[in-house]
Structure 1
Amino acid sequence: MPGLESLRLDHAPALLAFERENRAWFAASVPDRGDAYFEEFEERHRALLDEQETGAILFHVLVGDDGEILGRFNLVDVADGSAELGYRVARKAAGRGVATAGVREVCRLAARVHGLRTIRAATTLDNAGSRAVLARTGFVPVGEETFDGRPGLFYVLDLGGSFGRERSGTES
């Protein structure tokens, strides 16, 4: 059964494979990372892990039983009890509830482990899958915006309700 894990140094090979295999799939709904991302992947991965140590960003990967990465679920701009959610799921895992389960779990961790109170997210109007995931996980649209020339929505999730505020002190 896939499990959500905090991003670690040893995830690098599987994460790079995930990004390469799904590059065109992701580029259909979000801006492409560009060639430099792949050429400088190892250095970037180490730098992100260093930044993660500050608590300003919290990266998670959904890892399958075989060690393959099926998705990324990131909390960035963590400050004052709030963060912004970003996520992407492998094409072969799309449409199977993986994104919804990953978003639910990262929200649970955000509330119970990291003590966050709200999470923000955004997506374009033409990304029906992402809008559905956000709706299913309790995010509420709060405003409109244009992303790379495409109309979109901002969302907010109050973590007080079903995610609880108690802190366990450990990730599970």
Structure 2
Amino acid sequence: MEIESEDIADGVILRLAEPADAPALCAAYAGNRTHLEPWEPRRPESFFTVAGQQRRLEEQLRQYADGRIVPWLFERDGRIVGTITLSGIALGAFCSSYLGYWVAADQQGRGIATGAVRRVCRIARDTIGLHRIEATILPENTGSARVLEKCGFEVIGLAPHYLHINGRWRDHRIFQRVLHDEHPVA
């Protein structure tokens, strides 16, 4: 699947991750560790190392080659300022995927997540052929809720004790966006 880089907001480029990104991704996660902590699973110390990010990227790129995920990065002036990923890609009768993203603390409020989610929805529909995308967020994550709503997602439910986030099982609001109602490609 060929996916081109694109300027999504204020000079921020959305592009596919590549193996050479491990040091920059390590720096991005280390620099945003406190910012991301309330919204993510607890990470082992190895996650915040170049070697840990290298292993993670290699696995993501293996899954990308198999058509199971698409890992993108947000880059501004050579610095990674966030990520967005389609994961759990299922084709056939389901034609669906899960969406996850984060934006660096010092880049919040610039339209990066909104621009990226809009672009990823177009790619999911036009390039991958997905019918829908699902995203789950913590109920108190009002910023992500606004992004998803601006991008055409709607709330479809609440999943009690859905993910183990920051040391405990947390409820999540479930959002979805239906991209089209055409028949799936065989």
Question: TM > 0.5 between the two?
Answer: yes
> Cα offset for 1:107?
1.1
1:29 aligned partner: 39
Judge conservation of contact 2:74–2:80 (CA < 8 Å) in 1. yes
Q: Which amino acid is 1:140 matched to?
A: E
Partner residue, 1:79: 90
Q: CA RMSD in A?
A: 1.9
Paired residues in the alignment total: 162
Question: One-letter code of the match for 1:124?
Answer: L
Answer yes or no: is the 8 Å Cα contact 1:118–1:159 preserved in 2: yes
Per-residue Cα deviation, 1:74-127 (whole angstroms, up to 9, x for no partner): 000001221000001100111221111111111111111111111000001111
Whole-angstrom distance in 1 between the partners of 2:56 and 2:147: 28
Aligned 1:154-165 pairs, distance under 5 A: 154-160=174-180
1:28 partner SS: helix
Q: 63, 76, 83: which is aligned to 2:75?
A: 63
Match of 1:46 in 2: 58
Q: Unaligned 5+ residue runs, structure 2?
A: 1-10
Percent identity reads 32
1:152 aligns with 2:172: yes
Q: Kindly indicate whether the alpha-carbon contact (under 8 Å) linking 1:23 and 1:32 is maintained by their aligned counterparts in 2.
A: no
> TM-score normalised to the size of structure 1?
0.86
Which residue identity lines up with residue 14 of structure 2 in the other structure? L
2-side partners of 1:30 and 1:47: how far apart?
19
One-letter amino acid matched to 2:178 = D
Give the alignment's TM-score, normalised by structure 2: 0.80
